């Protein structure tokens, strides 16, 4: 088992005197080809999201504005990390229960995903997830 559930990658910054430019590309910050991009923004104050795991999907989450706390659980241990930088990405592989809490009002969370949307890849029941990772 990995020593940490939180895998952060540096997003290369190519800003200059004109302003900021950040790059996520295959072989750089992105360890997988991207088939889908979505972003979460305008989150209702106090709302938490997620509460699911994936069987196969890989994701890179970048909080390009504001902040959010990501909670990861592998069936035994839970770890949290605050994403508040456009220069850091959180890699989430399969077999991790994720929750998103404490969205700032200005939070924009970009998610780069390895597959198209597939409801069949989701595990939305926590007890079912625990059984899934147990074997
Ligand atoms: P949901 O999985 O509930 O979001 P979260 O995990 O952030 O709480 O997704 C909200 C809705 O959007 C749900 O009806 C499924 C749909 N959806 C898509 O159609 N495509 C996508 O890529 C994603 C992530 C969600």
Nearest 10 degrees: CA dihedral of 5, 41, 88, 19?
Answer: 180
pLDDT for 2 beyond 70? no
Instruction: Tell me, letter by letter, the H, E, C secondary structure of 3-33.
Output: CCCCEEEECCECCECCECCECCCECCCECCC
Q: What is the pTM of this model?
A: 0.96
pLDDT per residue as tens digits for the range 89-126: 999 999 999 999 999 999 999 999 999 999 999 999 99
Give the Å distances, CA to CA, from 38 to 35, 49, 69, 125.
10, 14, 18, 23
Q: How long, in residues, is the chain?
A: 135
Q: How far is the CA of 79 from the centre of ligand 1 (A)?
A: 23
Ligand 1 and 37: CB distance under 6 A: no
Q: Which atom of ligand 1 is nearest to the CA of 116?
A: 22
Ligand 1 and 50: CB distance under 6 A: yes
Query: In what order do the strands lie in the sheet containing 97-101?
Result: 78-83, 68-73, 97-101, 49-54, 122-123
What is the set of active-site residues? 52
pLDDT score of 3: 77
Kindly report the average pLDDT of the chain as a whole number.
97
Q: What is the average per-residue pLDDT within 76-95?
A: 98
The first and second tokens of residue 106, run together, are: 């200005």
Ligand 1 and 124: CB distance under 6 A: no
The angle formed by the CA atoms of residues 65, 105 and 96, to the nearest 5 degrees, is 70
């Amino acid at each position: 088992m990995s020593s940490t559930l939180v895998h952060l990658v540096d997003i290369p910054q190519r800003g200059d005197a004109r302003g900021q430019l950040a790059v996520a590309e295959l072989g750089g910050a992105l360890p997988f080809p991207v088939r889908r991009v979505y972003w979460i923004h305008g989150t209702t104050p106090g709302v938490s999201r997620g509460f699911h795991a994936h069987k196969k999907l890989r994701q890179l989450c970048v909080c390009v504005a504001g902040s959010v706390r990501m909670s990861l659980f592998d069936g035994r241990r839970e770890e949290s990390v605050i994403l508040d930088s456009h220069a850091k990405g959180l890699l989430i592989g399969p077999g991790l229960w994720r929750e998103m809490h404490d969205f700032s009002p200005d939070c924009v969370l970009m998610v780069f995903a390895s597959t198209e949307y597939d409801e069949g890849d989701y595990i939305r029941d926590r007890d079912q997830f625990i059984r899934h990772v147990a074997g």
